[in-house]
């Protein structure tokens, strides 16, 4: 799948058939009864210099994918092909020692800026730790590099001797970003990097990430549940539901013309910026609960909540197939070509037209 902003970029990361199943145990002796299929056969490509979004409800598997990429988790199956400067390597098959050099190039920004920073360590210790462990700098050079990193993320270098409790949530996340940049990475996995922040601070952190991407040539795997944020920062978007990818497209196309009913429902929840038009939006409220990944329904996992479901959906799982002539847009729905679904952009235009007719 090509993307419009980086059409000629080389793949930096290729995820193929990724599975992450967690054993589920029960009973007095903790006997294994089945598996929680947190990620089940997911494939995608992340190109150098782009931002790829992973979006979906809580429990859909997007955070698990991010943790597999940085190898916090060891995948059950599949390949994670990382194209390093020395050639492609399958991260899924590497041992702990072999992973060490690649963890300098692939870093993570965590969701909670409070729990992700050690309260007993100063900012200098937090940011410099990874450089000391990997022997990238020492002595006065280490202090100079920490000072440079803090300036780069918008913090004053003299703050490096303070502890995390002295900072606000937004400042703590800037410290987390500085820590992620300490090893000069190529790929950053941002796991809900702004969801725990005040709304007034989110735009500042997003703008900072975009500036850093432009200056340092970073590639982002951006995980979020807020589609208005995804729309702002991502070049392409992958939509997840119960461990599977249900749709993938270039960001503008996805928001204008979704092809999966689940994506349409997510789009209907995107806030309308004009306050006069908000009450006229048509929110799609899904009935029922998200399927249990340990005991998913037959056929299409989404069919119990889908208003377009037919008999075929209950028995036959839809493959992820091309739904545009360019091949950049794929969806896992039997009726993707027949359904007339409304995206967030189309919804805004529709409401604006209604408003003009009533004036």
> How far is it, in rounded angstroms, from Cα 239 to Cα 246?
6
Q: Measured in Å, how far apart are the chain's first and last C-alpha atoms?
A: 43
- Structure confidence at residue 279 (pLDDT): 52
Concatenated DSSP letters of 36-88: EEEEEEEEEEEETT-EEEEE-STTSSHHHHHHHHTTSS--SEEEEEEEETTEE
- Provide the edge-to-edge strand list for the sheet that holds 244-250: 106-109, 187-191, 219-224, 51-55, 236-241, 244-250, 330-331, 321-322
Rounded to two decimals, the pTM is 0.88
Would you list the DSSP string of 287-318? -S-PPPTTSPPSSSTTGGG-TT--HHHHHSPP
Write the pLDDT tens digit of every residue in 226-261. 888 888 899 999 999 999 999 999 999 999 899 999
Residue 178 to residue 155: CA distance in whole angstroms: 10
Which helix (H) or strand (E) segment holds residue 236: the answer is strand 236-241
Chain centre to alpha carbon of residue 297? 25
Instruction: Give the pLDDT score at 4.
Output: 46
Which pLDDT does position 309 carry in this prediction? 92
| Residues of the chain where predicted confidence (pLDDT) is lower than 50 | 1-4, 347-359
pLDDT recorded at residue 350: 46
Distances (CA, A) of 191 to 109, 200, 280, 287: 6, 19, 33, 28
């Amino acid at each position: 799948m090509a993307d419009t902003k980086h059409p000629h970029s080389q793949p930096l990361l290729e995820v193929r058939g990724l599975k992450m199943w967690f054993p589920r145990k029960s009973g007095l002796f903790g006997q294994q009864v089945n598996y929680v299929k947190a990620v089940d056969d997911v494939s995608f490509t992340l190109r150098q210099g782009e931002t790829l979004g992973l979006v979906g409800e809580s429990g859909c598997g997007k955070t698990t994918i991010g943790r597999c990429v940085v190898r916090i988790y060891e995948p059950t199956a599949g390949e994670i092909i990382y194209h390093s400067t020395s050639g492609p390597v399958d991260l899924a098959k590497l041992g702990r020692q072999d992973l060490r050099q690649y963890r300098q190039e692939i870093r993570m920004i965590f969701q909670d800026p409070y729990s992700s920073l050690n309260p007993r360590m100063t900012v200098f210790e937090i940011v410099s730790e990874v450089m000391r462990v990997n022997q990238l700098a020492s002595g006065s050079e280490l202090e100079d590099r920490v000072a440079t990193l803090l300036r780069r993320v918008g913090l004053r270098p003299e703050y490096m001797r303070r502890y995390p409790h002295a900072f606000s949530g937004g400042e703590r996340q800037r410290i987390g970003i500085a820590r992620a940049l300490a090893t000069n990475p190529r790929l950053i996995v941002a796991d809900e990097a702004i969801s725990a922040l005040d709304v007034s601070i989110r735009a500042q952190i997003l703008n900072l990430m975009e500036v850093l991407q432009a200056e340092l040539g970073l590639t982002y795997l951006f995980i979020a549940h807020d589609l208005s944020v995804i729309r702002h920062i991502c070049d392409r978007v992958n939509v997840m539901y119960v461990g599977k990818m249900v749709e993938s497209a270039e960001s503008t196309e996805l928001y204008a013309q979704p092809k999966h009913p689940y994506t349409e429902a997510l789009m209907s929840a995107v806030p309308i910026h004009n306050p006069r038009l908000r009450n006229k939006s048509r929110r799609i409220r899904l009935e029922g609960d998200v399927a249990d990944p340990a005991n998913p329904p037959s056929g299409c996992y989404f069919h119990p909540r889908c208003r377009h479901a037919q008999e075929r959906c209950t028995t036959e799982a839809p493959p992820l197939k091309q739904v545009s002539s360019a091949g950049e847009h794929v969806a896992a729905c039997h009726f993707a070509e027949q359904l007339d679904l409304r995206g967030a952009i189309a919804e805004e235009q529709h409401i604006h037209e209604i408003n003009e007719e009533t004036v």
